[in-house]
Copies of this chain bind each other. A is one copy, B any other.
């Protein structure tokens, strides 16, 4: 993922640190459920196997201070993490490609707990256009432009076959989408200023198979 150019320094957090924050959030949420009041970075460190000074550094990007010997207030830390990660705000997204993976994501209500609201799906298959999947309406790709603007969709999720991935990306961007979440293994090209996140779950499978075969 490329970094944007005009980050204000206070807000800028390197991607590896950003990727660790959800680990801390998962752990801190567990502590909150157990009514634990405070947690130190040493404690998080032991549990997650991340260096304590690294944790303190990662958390320094948040608007929170730990107290010497006591650590961080758990409820406050969880809230700050959720806010910082954007999980407590709603981001409208559309799904381009309502085939098996697209339909699966439309039915994953878990996404909404992480701030992602899937407001529409788009497809070219007349058999599913007009249907609802997991409560999300599926429209024809012809309506992409007008629907995206009306629905104020910022994020476009790409779950089409590989040979349509670049076209889907181009159409989503021209419909006003600012970020693409690409689930295909295709390397999509976008202009500067468009955020792109690649989640190739099949590449993870390949890595797992290879390690399994070489054990």
The yes or no answer to A21 lying at the interface (CB within 8 A) is yes
A29–B214 CB distance below 8 A:
no
For A, the interface residue count at a CB cutoff of 8 angstroms equals: 76
By a CB distance below 8 angstroms, the chain B residues around A48 are 187
Interface segment, A1-9, A64-72, A140-148?
A1-9
Contact of A154 among B86, B201, B202, B212 (CB under 8 A): B212
Distance in Å: Cβ of A158 to nearest Cβ of chain B: 12
A30–B195 CB distance below 8 A:
no
Chain B residue at minimal CB-CB distance from A198: B204
Given A100-B109, A186-B23, A206-B85: A162 touches B29 (CB 8 Å cut-off): yes
A204–B199 CB distance below 8 A:
yes
B85–A162 CB distance below 8 A:
no
The yes or no answer to A197 lying at the interface (CB within 8 A) is yes
The yes or no answer to A115 lying at the interface (CB within 8 A) is yes
B202–A155 CB distance below 8 A:
no
Contact of A199 among B85, B108, B199, B210 (CB under 8 A): B199
A100 to B109, CA, bound (A): 6
A209 to B115, CA, bound (A): 9
8 A Cβ contacts from A171-194 to B: 178-179, 181, 184-187, 189, 193
Residues of A within 8 A of B (CB): 1, 3-4, 7-8, 11-13, 15, 18-19, 21-23, 25-27, 29-30, 33, 47-50, 85-87, 89, 91, 99-101, 103-105, 107-111, 114-116, 154-155, 162-163, 178-179, 181, 184-187, 189, 193, 195, 197-215
A-B contact pairs, 20 of them (CB 8 A): A4-B214, A11-B214, A18-B203, A19-B200, A26-B162, A27-B162, A50-B187, A85-B209, A100-B109, A100-B110, A111-B205, A114-B202, A155-B208, A179-B212, A195-B211, A197-B204, A197-B208, A199-B199, A199-B201, A201-B201
